[in-house]
Structure 1
């Protein structure tokens, strides 16, 4: 079947009647597609306008077309009219050539008719110039009008019915047939070709034109008053031949998932366009036909938020027409420039070892989205450890002193990341030492004097050493100690010693504790006697701080052979304070050089429950000190050197009397 518009109609009819599948003519060309977007780069959630273009084609461009011009050469046409007819025929050839008939494999043949059998002027030729030359050189026959002869000759020139080609015939005549069976030859030709009939002047009836043509009415028959005005039909004739190359074209656009269609933005520039099936994911454009014209479909898309980067806008753009033309639109790529999140690990922190500090990443943000995950990392196992490392706020536990760089990585809802670091400075904390057992009872010289203690250190990775200053000029150093700690020592000389114990960690932090007033005696070291008085200073008697004046004393303290505790007697009276002390027992005695110190219990003004310590120096001058306190709660009753350490040397000189150290 010839012209494609008619072919499509017949195919549709056949399908409707029989339900069978029919194939349209194979297309030699198809609409030329193009696609673009502007802008080609947008921010997240941004929009771009997409344009799909189709450079449409006529039937002569999309399908090879064979056209036969059948020219009336009868005697009723004079020389002038014959020239006008040939000019018109050449104009038709040039008109269809301008629409690509020859370019796309089409051919044109020229047939003349008068009376009887007329040989063809030109068979089907793809050479436009040769066809024009054949028209120019065609001699006129000047005989009768055998329209049937011209139709038969056109049938022969056209050749066999070719469904893959458009087959067209234009018959131009000025009168009724004088011979031949016009209807029969027309029917035979119409079986394979679309036939157009052009009547010139009043010598031919419309009914005859409709017999010649493939259909009645203005689509297939044309009339001109004379050959001088036949050129007015040129545009109509060419348009009748050059029908749209695509019938029922449609474009189905499906957007890719990162994009959605902006409602109300789909437009098409050609009248008669229809846009249907519009959703956020696409639409369908359709039209009755598409000829030699430029279609432009415009629509706006908006980024849904993810992912980012160069993204295909269209998942698919599917073209279809009745001719099964193959059209592939180029990809449309729009780059979405998403902003990465901004990580904020917060200010630098300082924490003691053994303690924890929070690391707050809540100031992190995403300029064009949301932060969906937090990850803290980088803690040095030798300095600290992280807890809640996947939370906005993490906990850093200091283990040992040092500087630690901790990194926060945040990820946004697009998978983009950013890092920020903060420095945690872990400070060393010194160990905390407690001496749980110190020497309380006096120890004889050359016997073990020991202590025991414990220590803690929040720096769980620290190592420790212990150093002991025994107070007699000797010391003990112990590396690599753990809690508990302790040591023992023997003193060679009697005295009151201060044991200083120091535990030091490997970072230089230390704690020192004292076992003060450690009494070491020598049972064979001698004894002490004394008697006399001193001027008691203000404050010496807390019960009456303003009381001053003479205070009398007398004492003797010595070790009997083989005894571990001394014997003796001590008296002290301070009349201004109405204080009268009398000793009960002596607990220990230390004589070292010209100094003696001893301790015991006694009564104050006859009441028991008191302790005392007396120290004296046999020198020039002699010096004396007396301390008295309640045994139960250490409440001070008297001290003539109040404020001095209990084992400090006496500094109060005698007002009278003497102190004598007796050597053993």
Structure 2
């Protein structure tokens, strides 16, 4: 911003050159000429009293009629000027006003910005026909302030205003006759003897949303003082101000709202000891507001049932502040939003899919911007727990059941249950809890495999292992002989190998649900002597038989066993013995194989026979 003040000269503070231009034409009689001379002398005395000469000023006098002459050139000697006026003879001819104006311009010389230049023209009539009054006046006004005094009724106001620097009472004066000139003295001298400005000050107050840029205020006049600086304005001051151009510059910045054409200054007031009035024109700047920038953050991935933060805190407004955030657009079939009016919102995944979420921000100017981010919700497989599985052996044709529950963070998912009973499958839509019942048509040892699958393909599988189904009427098994026990079969001494003898019989008696029989197994290299007379179940299926029971090792109770045998060519046998209390393995000639795996150790002697009922 720039404030410019064109100061006026002062006879008290600036050297002033004043030229009196006196009408000496023949229309002025002797008495009137004396009155004119007295008036001119009074002007010189008055400006001297105001300090014109004391401050380096000068006064010159020009007389004009048909020509112009220097009564006295510019002089700083008050007495010499007044003496020249008193002793000046009258020219007594017609009226060439332009001649007087031109001669005053010669006396003043070139325009001097360091001096105040003023001219007082006193005339009682109009110029000669064809006199170039206007052009001469314009040339003189280019460097001096010209005052015009008209005496009598022979001069027109138009002529006075042509001669003077401006129309109106500030620059033109009239007197009815030369007798009345004395009454104009004080008024004319007051206009010519500009007091200047003492203790001038300019207070600038800004209008919000403008504020002052710190350190930006400067004034180009020496002696200027800048004070009272705040973001809202400042005050310029100086001891005095004469015929000087003051330029104050300062920078402002727009903060926040509003936009559009805005007054920069709420007030610019001038004050000095002379109570001068200065009106500064308003300064209007049109502010084009910049919309905010919404930033919804990077795309996100979240699992069903979990939440992820959507961070919009990168949103900003370059020319103000953000006043609101609004998150929206979540698909109810994919996810849900919370904290929708906060910079950081929370997105909760409900079902798999891609969801476009939009952030809308609004700034303090009411401008908005949008940005979107994509949230990909990933399916999470259900989690299945089998709460009960068959434990005791079940007879052929009896109900075999399991129960369970499952959870799925995808609350909108639907589910199906698949059951592999080992002899067929069953599928049906389910909700937790789950369960099913099945009846086996033949003896066997089965794994019941249960799978829960959601509608997005995620699944979980759990197994009820080693489900024993026996047939009391399905036959019995006998055997006796020996095998070559492999290394590692006896964990207490993995290097022990050699002959292991066996003998057994296991069968269901009529109407019994538990088989009866005896089992003997001896591994001399490991000093293992096992005996059982307690069989828990027996399964005969084709050429394979498996039975389980409890017994003693070297006469001590607390052991369990499971024997698997095949009646084939060759016959094969697997013997597994463990401590019942903690499942510590004592012997297994097929170490690491599944419990229901077919035996791989062939008999070295003896036989195994599966008897059909």
Using the size of structure 2 for normalisation, the TM-score is 0.66
CA drift at 1:51:
2.9
Aligned pair in 2 of structure 1 residues 562, 288: CA closer, same or farther (>3 Å)?
closer
Distance between the aligned counterparts of 1:511 and 1:517, measured in 2? 20
Aligned to 1:445: 396
Matched, 1:430 2:440: no
Match of 1:659 among 589, 608, 612: 608
Aligned residues: 502
CA drift at 1:450:
0.3
Aligned to 1:83: 93
Aligned to 2:29: 74
Are the equivalent residues in 2 in contact too, given 1:69–1:170 (CA < 8 A)?
Answer: no
Matched, 1:126 2:158: yes
Distance between the aligned counterparts of 1:315 and 1:385, measured in 2? 51
Alignment of 1:46-195 (within 5 A): 49-52=1-4, 73-74=28-29, 81-83=91-93, 86-87=96-97, 91=101, 92=121, 94=133, 98=138, 111=152, 120-121=153-154, 124=156, 126=158, 168-169=173-174, 186=180, 195=181
SS of residue matched to 1:345: coil
Aligned pair in 2 of structure 1 residues 584, 411: CA closer, same or farther (>3 Å)?
farther
Render the CA deviation track for 1:528-561: whole Å, top value 9, x for unaligned: 2222222221111212222222222221111112
Aligned to 2:449: 500
Distance between the aligned counterparts of 1:217 and 1:439, measured in 2? 128
Render the CA deviation track for 1:637-659: whole Å, top value 9, x for unaligned: 11221111001112222222222
CA drift at 1:518:
0.8
Aligned to 1:581: 530
Match of 1:303 among 206, 230, 253: 253
Alignment of 1:609-628 (within 5 A): 609-628=558-577
Are the equivalent residues in 2 in contact too, given 1:529–1:661 (CA < 8 A)?
Answer: yes
Higher relative contact order (CA 8 A, sep 6+): 1
Are the equivalent residues in 1 in contact too, given 2:417–2:428 (CA < 8 A)?
Answer: yes
Render the CA deviation track for 1:240-297: whole Å, top value 9, x for unaligned: 5x9899999997643112222756836487x999999876534678999999x99654
Distance between the aligned counterparts of 1:615 and 1:644, measured in 2? 12
Are the equivalent residues in 1 in contact too, given 2:257–2:320 (CA < 8 A)?
Answer: no
CA drift at 1:591:
1.4
SS of residue matched to 1:514: strand
SS of residue matched to 2:92: helix
Aligned pair in 2 of structure 1 residues 610, 275: CA closer, same or farther (>3 Å)?
closer
SS of residue matched to 2:462: strand
SS of residue matched to 2:205: strand
Match of 1:260 among 168, 189, 212: 212
Match of 2:510 among 561, 567, 587: 561
Aligned pair in 2 of structure 1 residues 88, 420: CA closer, same or farther (>3 Å)?
closer
Aligned pair in 2 of structure 1 residues 334, 262: CA closer, same or farther (>3 Å)?
farther
SS of residue matched to 1:354: coil
SS of residue matched to 2:2: strand
Matched, 1:460 2:411: yes
Distance between the aligned counterparts of 2:186 and 2:169, measured in 1? 25
Aligned to 2:427: 477
Are the equivalent residues in 1 in contact too, given 2:294–2:359 (CA < 8 A)?
Answer: no
Aligned to 1:590: 539
Are the equivalent residues in 2 in contact too, given 1:499–1:515 (CA < 8 A)?
Answer: yes
CA drift at 1:526:
1.6
Matched, 1:214 2:214: no
Matched, 1:540 2:489: yes
Using the size of structure 1 for normalisation, the TM-score is 0.62
Distance between the aligned counterparts of 1:290 and 1:575, measured in 2? 130
Distance between the aligned counterparts of 2:357 and 2:475, measured in 1? 70
Match of 1:517 among 456, 462, 466: 466
SS of residue matched to 2:93: helix
**Could you list the runs of 5+ residues in structure 2 that have no partner in the other structure?**
9-21, 34-64, 68-90, 102-120, 127-132, 142-146
Distance between the aligned counterparts of 2:184 and 2:545, measured in 1? 151
Aligned to 1:345: 297
Are the equivalent residues in 2 in contact too, given 1:313–1:334 (CA < 8 A)?
Answer: no
Aligned to 1:400: 351
Alignment of 1:236-275 (within 5 A): 240=192, 253-257=204-208, 258-260=210-212, 265=217, 267=219
Render the CA deviation track for 1:381-410: whole Å, top value 9, x for unaligned: 544455666777665544433344556677
Are the equivalent residues in 2 in contact too, given 1:341–1:416 (CA < 8 A)?
Answer: no
Are the equivalent residues in 1 in contact too, given 2:549–2:560 (CA < 8 A)?
Answer: yes
**Could you list the runs of 5+ residues in structure 1 that have no partner in the other structure?**
1-48, 57-67, 101-105, 112-119, 133-162, 174-181, 187-194, 196-211, 221-238
Aligned to 2:284: 332
Are the equivalent residues in 2 in contact too, given 1:504–1:510 (CA < 8 A)?
Answer: yes
CA drift at 1:467:
0.4
Aligned to 1:648: 597
Render the CA deviation track for 1:90-147: whole Å, top value 9, x for unaligned: 74474796499xxxxx999764xxxxxxxx545x453789x99xxxxxxxxxxxxxxx
Aligned pair in 2 of structure 1 residues 88, 412: CA closer, same or farther (>3 Å)?
closer
Are the equivalent residues in 2 in contact too, given 1:377–1:389 (CA < 8 A)?
Answer: yes
Distance between the aligned counterparts of 2:588 and 2:308, measured in 1? 50
SS of residue matched to 1:653: coil
